[in-house]
Amino acid sequence: QSALTQPRSVSGSPGQSVTISCTGTSSDVGGYNYVSWYQHHPGKAPKLMIYDVSQRPSGVPDRFSGSKSGNTASLTISGLRADDEADYYCCSFAGRNTYVFGTGTKVTVL
């Protein structure tokens, strides 16, 4: 149950794209197509942005996209906007109906 590894921070200018990686093991990220991503503004409820590696819930803009290769999943934010500035967490199913979150990445819009 070790946390998935994410970069501590990424940044980009408005309109640019940023990609956040999420590295786990064959027991979590690599073993299941159940990776989800959350946007979290401090003091607020986390918001589901991506599930099933690449699916967007209703209402999430298509600027947010997800992918996976082996034990690493990625979240890409295109057309970066000021209100995208937040903490982002990946999460993976880890077997036996348990889950593990990533270490979190702070996205800064320059």
Closest to 9 measured CA to CA, from 1, 19, 34? 19
82 phi, psi to nearest 5 deg: -60, -35
Identify the bridge partners of residue 37 per DSSP, sorted by sequence position.
50, 90
CA distance 1 to 37: 18
Residue range at the interface with other proteins (CB under 8 A); choices 20-28, 67-75, 76-84, 100-108: 100-108
CB of 65: closest distance to other proteins in angstroms? 16
Report residue 109 as tokens: 């819009």
| Contact positions with other proteins (CB under 8 A) in 42-61 | 44-48, 51-52, 55, 57
Residue range at the interface with other proteins (CB under 8 A); choices 20-28, 60-68, 77-85, 88-96: 88-96
The contact set with other proteins (CB under 8 A) reads 1, 3, 34, 36, 38, 40, 44-48, 51-52, 55, 57, 89, 91, 93, 96-104
